């Protein structure tokens, strides 16, 4: 019989089970049930699993902290509190005024581990990054995956180094002055290794999304499972913010939506821990309710992704107008996203074939609450070949994207390698050991692209190990001339963002956009003076919501702290300017004297 000090208390929720056993080592121990459907028992510490009813199959713990041999095998007892943290001086870093950097642990470095990623954190500081955002790291089936097929929400994928390596990574990030954002998925579970339904009603009996059955948020214990996972990342792993994947797929009819409940509990935990904790939603609804404070009738999340900036910028840079890019063909669409946050704010979406979105109250909402990007894992990885815009665009146009990202009103987010024009793709990859699941994944991918009009012959097989290997960054590119020049541009922009207060001004009304549609020229003013901002706010309130703010040459000039001008067109243009000092230029031969002459595909920042 095990000594008392070697025993561990095991608990598991299985409300419908008539019998539960915990198997630890060679011992099988009967468990006792309470009135809430929770079972518990004392048994030897170590690798363990549960047997439901009279079934002899040993299943992993739904709340497992470690899956050393994969998501189908036994769990391992792991105590998060055993670490003697060395980040006691870390007081947090709010998103406001920050720069996010999205990375996938498995492809960020050749080694594909958290420890290897930690060795590259100093690089992020050079380009002004304040928050490093990790794609999902929870336990998934196979060796490599984007992470959105996770099934062990409380565990860290062993291939990345497991939970101890995760704690080391967070500690290293905090030591470097970087906050950590963890991408989490609460809207579905992966197709392999999901044993939760064997324990209880974790999945809804009706309805499913593209990715699988909905999580059963009508069950209080399932809600608590989700909310406890939020707390786990903040409290046990010292994470600073969570990026909540596809919140539009969270089906919740409760009076207090699960997202609002997350915001309530996160605010309470932040007050207790004495550091900011933030929630960032990924939503395709264009609904400002998510980021409206609770006292103003919203759900109180801190920020949300907005794809409208990306779509408008992508069309302006590449000319692509297929699929959901169609509505963003006029340059005025990008201008509207820069001035109002959303392009689709009740306008008709041809891709969705209906009206879409709701307007942001630009007088009350702050612009940093929208997280925008020129590239991200979705917009690259969900292209047929997983190709980056760096493959098609010259340096000057790439730096125009960076200029608008760093100098624009919203919170910029970079995608790994973007800052040096990485030539490596980011393809969709899986490693399902089950041949049938692998085949279905590939076929589903092909069908999706055929519906979008892409050539299926160029779509890589997700199960091909080469899709994963090709997606790994090549850090040797930093030493090559083209890549080094682009990286230097990002460094310059990071310095200007720190230096010029107008570039982090959070008030929508302190920015103004002028568009010369036929010429393909966009002018963004930042730090507009208060009187002009007041008049500008009145104009925006009067303007019909469905009309993008197009303007002609000779429009009213206003005082501003910074002026960003980009020529997206194909011909040289001369643009009247109010500032004389060029602080950043994407083309080497620019001069200003009352007018700024811009070659095609170039831009500048003036003060």
Three-state DSSP string of 41-97 = EEEECCEEEEEECCCCCCECCCCCCCCCCCCCCCEECCCHHHCCCCCCCCCCCCCCC
pLDDT at residue number 549: 39
Query: Which residues are tagged catalytic?
Result: 245, 282
Alpha carbon distance 344, 353 (integer Å): 12
* Residue 524: strand, helix, or coil: strand
Is the pLDDT confidence value at 241 over 80? yes
pLDDT digits (tens, 9 = 90+) for 435-481: 999 999 988 888 877 777 778 888 999 999 999 999 999 999 999 99
pTM here is 0.94
- At which residue do the structure tokens 């009352």 appear? 594
Identical fold between 4-82 and 504-606: yes
| CB 270 within 8 Å of CB 231 | no
pLDDT digits (tens, 9 = 90+) for 299-314: 999 999 999 999 999 9
Percent of the chain with pLDDT over 70: 94
Percent of the chain with pLDDT over 90: 87
CATH architecture of 4-82: Sandwich (2.60)
pLDDT digits (tens, 9 = 90+) for 352-366: 999 999 999 999 999
Alpha carbon distance 602, 373 (integer Å): 19
- At which residue do the structure tokens 């990286």 appear? 487
| CB 324 within 8 Å of CB 266 | no
Which runs of consecutive H residues, i.e. helices, occur in 286-394?
A: 307-318, 331-340, 377-381
Mean pLDDT of the chain: 93
- At which residue do the structure tokens 């989700």 appear? 226
pLDDT digits (tens, 9 = 90+) for 138-177: 999 999 999 999 999 999 999 999 999 999 999 999 999 9
Angle at 343 between CA 95 and CA 360, to 5 degrees: 55
What's the CATH fold of domain 504-606? Answer: Immunoglobulin-like (2.60.40)
What is the pairing mode between strands 370-373 and 303-305? parallel
| CB 312 within 8 Å of CB 287 | no
Domain limits, the chain: 4-82, 504-606
Q: Residues within the annotated binding site? A: 243-248, 307-311, 377-382
Q: Residues within the annotated binding site for substrate? A: 243-248, 307-311, 377-382
Q: How confident is the model at residue 545 (pLDDT cuts 50, 70, 90)?
A: very low
pLDDT at residue number 553: 41
pLDDT at residue number 531: 52
pLDDT at residue number 210: 75
Q: How confident is the model at residue 212 (pLDDT cuts 50, 70, 90)?
A: confident
* Token pair for 239: 């994470």
* Token pair for 496: 């200007």
pLDDT at residue number 147: 98
Is the pLDDT confidence value at 536 over 80? no
Is the pLDDT confidence value at 539 over 60? no
pLDDT digits (tens, 9 = 90+) for 254-267: 999 999 999 999 99
Is the pLDDT confidence value at 18 over 50? yes
Is the pLDDT confidence value at 4 over 50? no
Q: How confident is the model at residue 550 (pLDDT cuts 50, 70, 90)?
A: very low
* Token pair for 267: 């605010």
């Amino acid at each position: 019989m095990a000594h008392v000090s070697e025993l561990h208390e095991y608990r598991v929720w299985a409300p419908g089970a008539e019998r539960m056993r915990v198997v630890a080592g060679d011992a099988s121990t009967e468990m006792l049930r309470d009135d809430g459907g929770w079972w518990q028992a004392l048994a030897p510490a170590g690798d363990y699993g549960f047997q439901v009813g009279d079934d002899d199959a040993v299943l992993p713990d739904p709340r497992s902290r470690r899956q050393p041999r994969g998501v189908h095998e036994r769990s391992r007892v792991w105590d998060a509190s055993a670490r003697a943290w060395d980040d006691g001086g870390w007081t947090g870093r709010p998103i406001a005024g920050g720069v996010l950097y999205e990375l996938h642990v498995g492809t960020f470095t050749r080694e594909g581990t958290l420890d290897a990623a930690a060795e590259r954190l100093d690089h992020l500081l050079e380009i002004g990054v304040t928050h490093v955002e990790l794609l999902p790291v929870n336990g998934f089936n196979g060796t490599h995956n984007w992470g959105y097929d996770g099934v062990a929400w409380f565990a860290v994928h062993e291939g990345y180094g497991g939970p101890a390596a995760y704690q080391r990574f967070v500690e290293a990030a905090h030591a470097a002055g970087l906050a950590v954002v963890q991408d989490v998925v609460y809207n579905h579970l992966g197709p392999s290794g999901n044993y939760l339904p064997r324990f209880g009603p974790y999945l809804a009996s009706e309805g499913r999304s593209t990715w699988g059955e909905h999580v059963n948020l009508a069950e209080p214990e399932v809600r608590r499972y989700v909310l406890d996972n939020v707390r786990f990342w903040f409290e046990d792993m010292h994470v600073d913010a969570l990026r909540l994947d596809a919140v539009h797929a969270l089906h919740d009819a409760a009076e207090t939506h699960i997202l609002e409940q997350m915001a309530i509990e996160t605010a309470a935990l932040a007050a207790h821990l004495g550091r900011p904790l933030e929630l960032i939603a990924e939503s395709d609804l264009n609904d400002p309710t998510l980021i409206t404070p609770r006292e103003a009738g919203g759900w109180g999340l801190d920020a949300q992704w907005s794809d409208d900036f990306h779509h408008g910028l992508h069309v302006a840079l590449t000319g692509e107008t297929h699929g959901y890019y169609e509505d963003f063909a006029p340059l005025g669409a990008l201008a509207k996203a820069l001035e109002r946050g959303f392009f689709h704010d009740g306008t008709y979406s041809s891709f969705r074939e209906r009206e879409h979105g709701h307007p942001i109250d630009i007088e009350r909402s702050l612009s940093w609450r929208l997280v925008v990007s020129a590239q991200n894992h979705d917009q690259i990885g969900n292209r047929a070949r997983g190709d980056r815009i760096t493959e098609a665009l010259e340096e000057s146009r790439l730096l125009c994207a960076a200029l608008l990202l760093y100098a624009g009103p919203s919170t910029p987010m970079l995608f790994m390698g973007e800052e040096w024009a990485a030539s490596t793709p980011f393809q969709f990859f899986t490693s399902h050991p089950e041949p049938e699941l692998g085949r279905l994944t590939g076929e589903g991918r092909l069908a999706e692209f055929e519906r979008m009009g892409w050539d299926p012959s160029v779509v890589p097989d997700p199960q091909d190990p080469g899709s994963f290997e090709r997606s790994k960054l090549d850090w040797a590119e930093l030493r090559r001339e083209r890549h080094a020049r682009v990286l230097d541009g990002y460094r310059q922009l990071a310095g200007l963002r720190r230096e010029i207060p107008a570039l982090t001004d959070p008030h929508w009304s302190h920015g103004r956009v002028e568009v010369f549609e036929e010429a393909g020229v966009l002018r963004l003013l930042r730090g507009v003076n208060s009187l002009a901002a007041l008049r500008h706010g009145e104009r925006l309130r009067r303007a019909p919501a469905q009309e993008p703010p197009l303007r002609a040459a000779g429009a009213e000039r206003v005082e501003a702290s910074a002026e960003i001008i980009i020529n997206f067109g194909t011909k040289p243009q001369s643009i009247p300017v109010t500032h004389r000092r060029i602080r950043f230029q994407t083309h080497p031969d620019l001069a200003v004297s009352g007018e700024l002459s811009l070659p095609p595909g170039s831009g500048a920042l003036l003060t």
